[in-house]
């Protein structure tokens, strides 16, 4: 596709490069059905696997009667703990969080949660496999299960590892007790969030196909290299024996960051029947066996002087994990860095429950953590009689209060200013229940959004062919966020060619290695690698031209020859040069380079975060308690925006995700059995179009010279952070009722 020319930071034509609001390159393929998701890849001779799940939360399997299933039409094999292939270390060889999980791979008869995979039926059709699975009878020896989170908090223990290998679970600075004694006003409150389940449009799905000793997995994943390594180690084979392909992933939100049980089970089943096996989880199976955001119980104690200056913060966050593995929701991370406070303590605790292991969920930690912190800041502002923005500005952190480092860039003041002005915040009356529209209570609330800027090592190759086409390859992922488009724009911008000349290939573990597409780091990691490879290609073309007697730059000093704007030319005399096409026609063959990018040295000297401000208006029926979010305005400083159109789309999705967190999403678990009670889209309430208000998204112009070569910070997560708090604060302003337990349902207002 051709992009409309625009200008970059230097005022030069980008030909559809960085900063141009291009529509997604993969859009036509998706709307015409040309895009193939994992379960749709045509694989010959494929058969179907259906997972059988436990119906108890804790115990052991006494007996599996699969005889009727084995005799059912079309059944090829029934795999149970009694006959499943034995794996190295009992199937735990690949376990290394967060890229690897403790899985349920039929290696023993233990049951740790309701819904755990306990058998797989393989048949010639999905219908036959599903029918046969219903015929399996299982007897259990039951054990008492731990299922009640709140009553188990007394048994919580402090997490004993670094959070994601980086941050300590406990931090202390100053003296919190002394700070609380100094305070004129104190807040002591508990905020809770429920289990929230990812529900992407595309469920988890895998096709496993063996060819001799080589395994190909078509998997709906956010991390092809991670799945490759994990599955290889779990099966006890070399990485080079496994290939993982995911050209399109239909939403993930963190749930597809690791290989779950069904991925390895599909490979085991395919080997047993000597045919490719496809396993697609049902919507109900998306609950429990592939992770969720865990419960959190967050106890915040805050002290402040009359002028709003914070004197102390204590934030103890307790989250749930499974009985087979530790998984932490790091809800204190934003508290450590968001506001200047001389005395602070944070602690991360865990409670083990007989539920499936939790996992990343959009804005993991910061989404649940900002609900607690930003609600508490709103309560504190009310106690002090201060405007909520004024309280935040009184404690504005001009440098990272935890590390003491300067920010690589920070535009939070500008975000507060522009978003509040667009929202009309100055017209807000301070008292709750003071704004009405007839019989409807109107409330305005705001909160701060933040998410760390992350970058990991990544590689990319760029190849230019004699016909002028540029092929860019990197084993990153398209989750529906616009990776095909944004990375094509980076390559086009760096080389100075039209986006219509770029072909970007991703989603294959045989391509140059890239990290997981999570943590808002794809643009920074993969984008930096693509920029590095395209830059290196330009240098390579310059070298070829200098050595070419027919080139206008033949024999020129290397430091005077530049690649850009689709040409090789002298820096000292731009008229002396030639197009890439002309050079390549004489050269007669394609030119390719591969480059790797790594996090910059500046990460040791600067703290790198994105920041934003979120404003919400709610309308609450005074008699019925029904809540509607009627409009939202948000502004963000996220570094350089690669594509304003796809970037805005990501923020819109994040905000709607936050509306669900605030008002509707709640995975209900039977406290007697551990069964997921609302495991479908009829009862698990996601926000739909009717729930989405007018959303105004603003990007503050932010230049960050330290973060990476292309100046991007990432935006996938920050759009969700702060949203639940802004809505909760608006509900309080409308009703005078402070709801500290998500979701905010009408019964909590009556």
684-697 per-position pLDDT tens digit: 999 999 999 999 99
Burial bucket for residue 704 (CB in 10 Å: 0-12, 13-18, 19+): buried
Q: Are 582 and 568 in contact (CB under 8 A)?
A: no
Q: Is 691 helix (H, G, I), strand (E, B) or coil?
A: helix
Contacts for 151-154 with beta carbons within 8 Å, 24 or more apart?
Answer: 152/351, 152/352, 152/353, 153/297, 153/318, 153/351
674/371 Cα distance (integer angstroms): 27
Task: Tell me the CA distances in angstroms from 253 to 204, 221, 444, one per residue in order.
Answer: 12, 11, 28
Q: From residue 637, give the alpha-carbon distance in Å to each of 475, 523, 670, 741.
A: 28, 15, 42, 29
245 burial level (CB within 10 Å; 0-12, 13-18, 19+): buried
- Tens of pLDDT, residue by residue over 699-720, are 999 999 999 999 999 999 999 9
For the chain, counts of helices (H) and of strands (E): 16, 28
pLDDT above 70 for 404: yes
Q: 206 — alpha (psi -120 to 50), left (phi > 0) or beta?
A: beta
Q: Is the peptide bond before 98 cis (omega within 30 degrees of 0)?
A: yes
Please provide the DSSP assignment of 316-356 as one string: EEEEEEESS------TTHHHHHSB--SSEEEEEEEEEESS-
Considering only CA atoms, which of 283, 254, 260, 251 is closest in space to residue 684? 283
Q: Is 607 left (phi over 0), alpha (psi -120 to 50) or beta?
A: beta
DSSP per-residue letters across 187-246? EEEEEEE--B----SSPPEEEEEEETTEEEEEE--S-HHHHHHHHHHHHT--GGGEEEE-
Tell me the torsion sign for CA atoms 80, 204, 353, 268.
positive
* Confidence at 16, pLDDT banded by 50, 70, 90: confident
Q: Considering only CA atoms, which of 203, 213, 246 is closest in space to residue 51?
A: 203
Residues 341 and 402 sit within 8 Å (Cβ to Cβ): no
Closest CA to 477 of 491, 487, 490: 487
| Cβ pair 368, 331 in contact under 8 A | yes
Residue 297: which residues within 8 A CB-CB, separation 6 or more?
149, 150, 153, 190, 192, 317, 318, 319
Q: What gap in Å lies between CA 651 and CA 428, rounded to an integer? A: 25
pTM for the model stands at 0.96
Q: Where are the alpha helices (DSSP H) in 395-547?
A: 412-423, 483-495, 522-547
Q: Are 528 and 709 in contact (CB under 8 A)?
A: yes
Strand, coil or helix: 630: strand
Strand partners, 446: 615
pLDDT tens profile 259-289 = 999 999 999 999 999 999 999 999 999 999 9
Measured distance CA(119)–CA(133) in Å, rounded: 9
Query: Nearest-CA neighbor of 203 among 60, 37, 329, 369?
Result: 37
User: What are the residues whose beta carbons fall under 8 Å from the beta carbon of 680, sequence distance 6 or more?
Assistant: 283, 284
Q: What is the pLDDT of residues 106-150, one digit of tens each?
A: 999 999 999 999 999 999 999 999 999 999 999 999 999 999 999
Helices (H), 160-199: 176-182
Give the model's pLDDT for residue 612: 98
Our CA angle for 701, 695, 196, nearest 5°, is: 105
pLDDT in tens, 589-638: 999 999 999 999 999 999 999 999 999 999 999 999 999 999 999 999 99
Say if CB 432 and CB 735 are below 8 A apart. Answer: yes
Strand, coil or helix: 300: strand
Phi and psi torsions of 70, nearest 5°:
-65, -25
The answer on pLDDT for 186 being more than 50 is: yes
Percent of residues, the chain, with pLDDT higher than 90: 96
Distance, CA of 567 to chain centre:
38
Write the pLDDT tens digit of every residue in 466-483: 999 999 999 999 999 999
Q: Give the pLDDT score at 97.
A: 83
The pLDDT tens digits of the residues spanning 542-579 come to: 999 999 999 999 999 999 999 999 999 999 999 999 99
Does the annotation mark 683 as catalytic?
A: no
Distance in angstroms (rounded) separating the CA atoms of residues 571 and 550:
19
Mean pLDDT of 317-335: 97
The pLDDT value recorded for residue 6 is 36
How far apart are the C-alpha atoms of 483 and 461, rounded to whole Å?
Answer: 16
* Beta strands 170-173; 577-579: pairing state: unpaired
pLDDT of residue 215: 98
Name all domains of the chain by residue range, CATH numbers in brackets: 27-35+456-598 (3.30.365.10), 403-454+604-748 (3.30.365.10)
Q: What is the mean pLDDT of residues 637-661?
A: 97
pLDDT of residue 497: 96
**Which contiguous run of DSSP H or E holds residue 30?**
helix 27-32
Average pLDDT, the chain: 96
The residues pairing with 121 across neighbouring beta strands, listed in sequence order, are 50, 78
Bridge partner residues of 463 (DSSP)? 471, 592
In this predicted model, what pLDDT tens digit does every residue of 449-462 receive, in sequence order? Answer: 999 999 999 999 99
Four-point Cα dihedral 63, 68, 70, 74, nearest 10:
-150
Beta bridge pairs of residue 346: 171, 315
CA distance 710 to 257: 25
Alpha-carbon radius of gyration of the chain: 27
Residue 487 β-bridge partners: none
The neighbouring-strand residues paired with 317 are 298, 348
User: Is a pLDDT exceeding 90 seen at residue 10?
Assistant: no
Q: Omega of the bond prior to 258 within 30 degrees of 0, cis? A: no
CA 314 centroid distance within chain: 27
Q: What span, in angstroms and rounded, lies between the C-alpha atoms of 392 and 315?
A: 17
Residue 130, helix vs strand vs coil: helix
List residues bridging with 29 in a β-sheet: none
Residues 490-507 have pLDDT tens digits of: 999 999 999 999 999 999
């Amino acid at each position: 596709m051709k992009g409309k020319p625009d200008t970059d930071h230097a005022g030069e034509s980008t030909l559809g490069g960085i900063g141009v609001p291009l529509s997604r390159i993969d859009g036509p393929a998706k709307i015409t059905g040309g895009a193939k998701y994992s379960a749709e890849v045509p694989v010959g001779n494929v058969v179907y696997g259906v997972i059988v799940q436990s119906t108890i939360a804790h115990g052991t399997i006494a007996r599996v009667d699969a005889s009727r299933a084995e005799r059912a039409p079309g059944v090829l094999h029934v795999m149970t703990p009694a006959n499943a292939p034995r794996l190295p270390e009992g199937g735990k060889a690949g376990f290394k969080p967060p890229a690897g999980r403790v899985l349920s791979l039929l290696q023993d008869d233990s049951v740790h949660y309701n819904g755990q995979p306990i058998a797989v039926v393989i048949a010639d059709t999905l219908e036959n496999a599903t029918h046969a699975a219903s015929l399996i009878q299982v007897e259990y020896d039951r054990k008492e299960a731990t299922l009640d989170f709140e009553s188990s908090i007394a048994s919580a223990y402090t997490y004993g590892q670094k959070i994601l290998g980086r941050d300590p679970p406990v931090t202390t600075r100053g003296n919190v007790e002394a700070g609380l004694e100094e305070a004129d006003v104190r807040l002591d409150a508990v905020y809770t969030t429920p289990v929230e389940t990812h529900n992407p449009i595309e469920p988890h799905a895998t096709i496993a196909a063996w060819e001799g000793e080589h395994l190909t997995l078509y998997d709906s994943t956010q991390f092809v290299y991670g799945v490759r390594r994990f599955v290889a180690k779990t099966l006890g084979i070399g990485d080079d024996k496994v290939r993982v392909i995911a050209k399109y992933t239909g939403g993930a939100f963190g749930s597809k960051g690791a290989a779950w049980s069904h991925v390895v089970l599909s490979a085991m089943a395919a080997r047993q029947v000597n045919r490719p096996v496809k396993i697609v989880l049902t919507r109900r199976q998306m609950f429990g066996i592939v992770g969720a955001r865990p419960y959190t119980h967050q106890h915040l104690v805050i002290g402040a002087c009359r002028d709003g200056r914070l004197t102390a913060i204590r934030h103890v966050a307790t989250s749930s994990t499974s009985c087979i593995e530790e998984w932490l929701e790091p809800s204190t991370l934003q508290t450590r860095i968001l506001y200047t406070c001389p005395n602070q303590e944070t602690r991360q605790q865990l409670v083990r429950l007989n539920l499936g292991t939790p996992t990343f969920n959009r804005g993991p930690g910061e989404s649940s953590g900002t609900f607690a912190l930003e609600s508490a800041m709103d309560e504190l502002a009310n106690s002090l009689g201060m405007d909520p923005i004024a309280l935040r500005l009184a404690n504005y952190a001009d440098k990272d209060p935890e590390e003491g480092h300067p920010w690589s860039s920070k535009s939070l003041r500008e975000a507060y200013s522009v978003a509040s002005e667009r929202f009309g915040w100055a017209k807000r009356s301070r008292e709750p229940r003071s704004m009405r529209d007839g019989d409807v209570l109107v409330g305005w609330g705001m909160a701060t959004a933040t998410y760390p800027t992350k970058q990991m090592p990544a590689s990319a190759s760029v190849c230019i062919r004699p016909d002028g086409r540029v092929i860019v390859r990197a084993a990153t992922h398209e989750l529906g966020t616009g990776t095909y488009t944004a990375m094509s724009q980076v390559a086009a911008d760096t080389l100075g060619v039209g986006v219509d000349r770029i072909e970007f290939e991703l989603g294959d573990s045989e391509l140059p290695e890239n990290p997981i597409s999570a943590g808002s780091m794809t643009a920074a990691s993969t984008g930096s690698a693509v920029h590095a490879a395209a830059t290196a290609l330009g240098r390579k073309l310059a070298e070829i031209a200098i050595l070419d007697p027919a080139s206008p730059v033949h024999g020129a000093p290397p430091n005077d020859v530049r690649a850009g704007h689709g040409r090789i030319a002298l820096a000292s005399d731009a008229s002396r040069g030639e197009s890439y096409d002309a050079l390549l026609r004489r050269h007669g063959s394609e030119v390719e380079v591969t480059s790797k990018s790594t996090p910059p040295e500046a990460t040791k000297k600067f703290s790198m975060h994105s920041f934003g401000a979120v404003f919400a208006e709610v309308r609450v029926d005074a008699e019925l308690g029904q809540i509607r979010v009627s409009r939202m305005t948000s502004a963000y400083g996220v570094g350089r925006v690669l594509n304003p159109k796809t970037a805005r789309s990501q923020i819109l999705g994040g905000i709607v995700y936050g509306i669900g967190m605030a008002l509707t999403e709640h995975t209900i678990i039977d406290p007697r059995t551990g069964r997921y009670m609302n495991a479908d889209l009829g009862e698990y309430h996601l926000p739909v179009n009717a729930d989405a208000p007018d959303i105004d998204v603003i990007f503050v112009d932010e230049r960050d010279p330290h973060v990476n070569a292309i100046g991007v910070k990432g935006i996938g997560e920050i759009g969700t952070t702060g949203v639940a708090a802004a809505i909760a604060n608006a509900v309080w302003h409308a009703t005078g009722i402070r709801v500290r337990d998500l979701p905010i349902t009408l019964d909590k207002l009556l």
